[in-house]
Amino acid sequence: MNAPATFPSTEVRPVRLLIVDDSQVVRSIFERILMRQANFIVSGTCSSVDEALRFLGRETVDIVLLDIEMPGRSGLDALPEILQRADGAAVIVVSSTVEQNSARMIEAVSLGACDTLAKPGGAGVGGHFAENLVAKIESIAAQRASGLAPSPTRHGDEPCSPDRGARAPIPRPGCIAIGASTGGIVGIQQFLSALPATIDCPILITQHLPRTFIPYFAGQLAGRVSRNVQVCTPGTSLVKNHIYLAPGDGHLGCTRQGSAVVATRVEGDFAAHYAPAVDPMLSAAAQTYGEAAVAIVLSGMGIDGLEGAREVRRRGGTVIVQDEDSSVVWGMPGHIAKSGLADAIMRPADMGLYIYERSAAA
């Protein structure tokens, strides 16, 4: 008799959640919202940062919902320690302050929060808020689950692209175009901080952020790097030692006008309606700079950047993506790596030296 056929389990592991908020009412409402979902488990609720740290020292969770303003130590102050203690868990900041103060939201994301959500007051905790909260958790959980397979390479190892080695020389960059989403702000800062000053080409950045947050992001970057930072507008000439951020209400592109390169606004639907989107920026950089275009794609959900990276490689440019270990979500860079389009896969802090060494060898 033949042995019975066996099939791999299709059971989905529940998402384990920790709620950290000083309000007992809010904790109870959040718990009710989350427990309505069959695949969510509320592993614990904590009223303070210290209680949360003790909990994370003995329990494992997938996602932490963290308030910012709490008595004693604030959630923002403790965020780096919470991330370290959480051992790979994602943190979503859920606080009224992220709506009232965009700078706090940018700071939270810069410190490692993978997303933020404005917490409404009173009876507003429900309805659309509940839908948005559940959607964010499901999206983060799905992306993290899909990225469980090991990265094709680790820092500085041979890339997965079959036709161009990690040690091959590249042209001196004419433009660096960076795309990022969830968890990407930290990577952007790490890359720019470590980028050698001799790499002085224009830098374009598309970070998935609401339009109102972009000026705060620009201000934060300007305070941390020695290059000029500005939110880009159509017609702006792209010059050396300048960083140009995509505005939150349109796609950033570029084109040649005589001897100059100017910024453009790219019309159209890209990558599941992200605005700004990474794909049009990378494609425009490839079409304008050719083999001198360097595309960098950092942590983020989804596939935005995949088609743009394909265009960069088609025109002879260089594609570098963040490795899985240092990514909050290995969605955008992971899709590019698994498609064989990445010349190198590494930490953001290592990318500047890679570009310098490879272009110096050309």
268/312 Cα distance (integer angstroms) = 19
Task: Using alpha carbons, select from 147, 196, 198 the residue that is nearest to residue 351.
Answer: 196
Which token pair is 192?
A: 């720019």
Same domain, 131 and 195: no
158/224 Cα distance (integer angstroms) = 32
Q: What is the CATH number of the domain that holds 215?
A: 3.40.50.180
Q: What is the CATH number of the domain that holds 132?
A: 3.40.50.2300
Same domain, 196 and 338: yes
244 neighbors 202 (Cβ within 8 angstroms): yes
8-state DSSP, 148: -
65/227 Cα distance (integer angstroms) = 35
Same domain, 63 and 133: yes
Q: What is the dihedral of CA 216, 221, 224, 228, to 10 degrees?
A: -120
- The domain in which residue 23 lies consists of 15-146
Same domain, 352 and 235: yes
- The one-digit pLDDT tens for each residue of the chain (362 residues) are 444 444 444 456 899 999 999 999 999 999 999 999 999 999 999 999 999 999 999 999 999 999 998 988 999 999 989 998 998 788 999 998 776 667 888 888 888 888 889 888 755 566 789 999 999 899 888 866 765 433 333 333 444 444 455 557 889 999 999 999 988 999 999 999 999 999 999 999 999 988 888 999 999 999 999 999 999 999 999 999 999 999 988 899 999 999 999 999 987 765 555 779 999 999 999 999 999 999 999 998 889 999 999 999 999 999 999 999 998 888 899 999 999 999 999 999 999 999 999 998 65
First to last CA, the chain: 66
- Looking at the domain assignment, is residue 160 inside a domain? no
Same domain, 84 and 214: no
Same domain, 249 and 325: yes
Beta-carbon count within 10 A of 100 CB: 10
8-state DSSP, 330: B
- Looking at the domain assignment, is residue 310 inside a domain? yes
Task: Using alpha carbons, select from 309, 307, 337 the residue that is nearest to residue 159.
Answer: 337
- Looking at the domain assignment, is residue 157 inside a domain? no
- The verdict on whether 242 is a catalytic residue reads no
Same domain, 179 and 89: no
Residue with tokens 């959900």: 301
Which token pair is 351?
A: 């990318």
3-state class percentages of the chain: helix first, strand second, coil last, to nearest 5: 40, 20, 40
Gyration radius of the chain's alpha carbons: 21
Distances (CA, A) of 281 to 25, 314, 315: 45, 15, 14
- Looking at the domain assignment, is residue 159 inside a domain? no
308 neighbors 282 (Cβ within 8 angstroms): yes
Selecting among 304, 323, 343, 350, the annotated active-site residue is 304
pLDDT at 97: 78
Beta-carbon count within 10 A of 168 CB: 13
Beta-carbon count within 10 A of 140 CB: 24
Angle at 90 between CA 115 and CA 324, to 5 degrees: 100
Distances (CA, A) of 323 to 270, 342, 357: 24, 11, 19
Selecting among 67, 151, 208, 279, the annotated active-site residue is 208
- Looking at the domain assignment, is residue 2 inside a domain? no
pTM, whole model, 2 decimals? 0.79
Q: Is the alpha carbon torsion for 100, 329, 145, 60 positive or negative?
A: negative
Same domain, 219 and 121: no
- Looking at the domain assignment, is residue 156 inside a domain? no
- The verdict on whether 181 is a catalytic residue reads yes
Same domain, 86 and 233: no
Q: How many domains does the chain have?
A: 2
Q: Within the chain, what is the greatest distance between any pair of CA atoms?
A: 78
226 neighbors 259 (Cβ within 8 angstroms): no
Beta-carbon count within 10 A of 129 CB: 17
Same domain, 291 and 192: yes
Give backbone dihedrals phi and psi of 89, rounded to 5 degrees, phi first: -70, 150
Same domain, 116 and 180: no
- Looking at the domain assignment, is residue 70 inside a domain? yes
Residues in the chain: 362
Same domain, 129 and 204: no
- Looking at the domain assignment, is residue 166 inside a domain? no
Selecting among 95, 102, 161, 181, the annotated active-site residue is 181
pLDDT at 161: 47
- The verdict on whether 335 is a catalytic residue reads no
* 126, 146, 166 - which closes a domain: 146
